[in-house]
Amino acid sequence: MRKAFLIVLGLCFAAASPVLAFHDAGVAHCNGCHTMHNSEDGVAIDPDNPNGNPWLLVDESPSDVCLGCHATRLGAVFGDDPVNPPLLLGAGNFTYLLEDNINDGHNGANNPIPGYKAGHSIVAPGHGLAADGTLTAAPGGDFPASVLGCTSCHDPHGTEDFRMLYGAGRVVQDGVATFDNPAPTADGLSIFDGTGETNDNHTAYQSGMSAWCANCHGDFHQQADGRLIHQSGQILGGTIATVYDLYNGTASIQGGNHATAYLAAVPFEDPSMTTDGTEGPVASSQVSCVSCHRAHATSAPNAGRWDFSVTLLDEDGLESGSYAIPNPYGDDDQRSLCNKCHKKDEFDHLMTP
């Protein structure tokens, strides 16, 4: 009797658990992505490819399989209209790869920068996405652009790590590469989050993101061998941490304070960061690749978290007609967000006082 009761209870719990689980941080049921014969009820499961697909996948390419569920729902990493992107959860969005022009620099309207420069060009022919038109490999490394896709970074068979990203020693895409560095330590918003990224609802970057990007980009941003380039994965130090804390926009260089200084548009890594954390950095917090870039793509060249080529953030989108990345301070005179750490706009003359 008691046993029967427990079984009924168990069924209730099963029914009450989220209907929308699939990977559950591990390997989902195989036929969510694979088909053994490309046939069910005598009909091809992938009708566009009656002879089936490599790896016995249910769609044309690994990335097309993922986009089958994640294009416009379940975290929506893609969309059909790049000027109306889905809610931002942290990684940016691949929809901007569809843009014809993302150049908002001077005379950008007449010098288009094509959308494939908006970030990582996913190869997903079923969704109209092809390899990058310029870069043939990851700058700083040798990962080939010709096969770059969701499963270059995320393990389709799941991992315990942040966002199922590949970690150290893991073989990627059936042998294309082997990663040396571990997955980053971070905490993300639920892909069912209805609010999207804000200063108190954001990915909590804790550690290891720069080393993780280096799995493909090598020492691209390390000052090794005397190269003079901006560091990543190095501590901010007390002076820059204080600048970050006090900086509250071009119009308010000293107006901020440590308790509310966090700016989701310019994050730093810190082991104590939480998804609702609003505190600024401490001296040992680190500048990271994701302080300036997003992992997927943005409507600015080089997956910039803000457009590196505009003088005032309000100019974003004007020349190109592409999506204007929101100006986090909302002020017409706001300058580049490099200033969050460097306050080089300290002595600016405000143009619309």
Q: Give yes or no for a contact between 239 and 179, defined as CB atoms under 8 angstroms apart.
A: no
Does residue number 152 form part of the binding site for ligand HEC (CB under 6 A)? Answer: yes
Binding residue for ligand HEC (CB under 6 A) from 4, 8, 15, 21?
Answer: 21
Tell me which residue of 338, 335, 337, 332 sits closest to 348, measured CA to CA: 335
Least spacing, CB of residue 39 vs ligand HEC, in Å: 18
- b/e per residue, 308-335, with b = 16+ CB within 10 A? ebbebbbbbbebbebbbbebbbebebbb
Does residue number 85 form part of the binding site for ligand HEC (CB under 6 A)? Answer: no
Does residue number 261 form part of the binding site for ligand HEC (CB under 6 A)? Answer: no
| Type of residue at 256 | G
Comparison of 285 and 324: residue with beta carbon closer to ligand HEC: 285
Phi and psi (nearest 5°) for 18?
Answer: -55, 130
Does residue number 120 form part of the binding site for ligand HEC (CB under 6 A)? Answer: yes
Does residue number 153 form part of the binding site for ligand HEC (CB under 6 A)? Answer: yes
Tell me which residue of 233, 232, 308, 231 sits closest to 265, measured CA to CA: 308
Does residue number 343 form part of the binding site for ligand HEC (CB under 6 A)? Answer: no
Least spacing, CB of residue 62 vs ligand HEC, in Å: 3
Q: Give yes or no for a contact between 95 and 80, defined as CB atoms under 8 angstroms apart.
A: yes
Rg over CA atoms, the chain: 22
Does residue number 72 form part of the binding site for ligand HEC (CB under 6 A)? Answer: no
Binding residue for ligand HEC (CB under 6 A) from 273, 289, 300, 324?
Answer: 289
Binding residue for ligand HEC (CB under 6 A) from 113, 123, 204, 236?
Answer: 236
Does residue number 230 form part of the binding site for ligand HEC (CB under 6 A)? Answer: yes
Does residue number 277 form part of the binding site for ligand HEC (CB under 6 A)? Answer: no
Does residue number 300 form part of the binding site for ligand HEC (CB under 6 A)? Answer: no
Q: Which of residues 322-341 bind ligand HEC (CB under 6 A)?
A: 338, 340-341
C-alpha span between 63 and 99 (Å, rounded): 19
Comparison of 124 and 324: residue with beta carbon closer to ligand HEC: 124
Does residue number 24 form part of the binding site for ligand HEC (CB under 6 A)? Answer: yes
Least spacing, CB of residue 314 vs ligand HEC, in Å: 18
C-alpha span between 46 and 57 (Å, rounded): 9
Q: Which stretch binds ligand HEC (CB under 6 A): 44-52, 119-127, 269-277, 315-323?
A: 119-127
CA dihedral 185, 339, 246, 88 (to 10 degrees): -50
Does residue number 113 form part of the binding site for ligand HEC (CB under 6 A)? Answer: no
Tell me which residue of 58, 30, 28 sits closest to 43, measured CA to CA: 58
The tokens for 23 are 């990977």
Binding residue for ligand HEC (CB under 6 A) from 10, 125, 139, 255?
Answer: 139
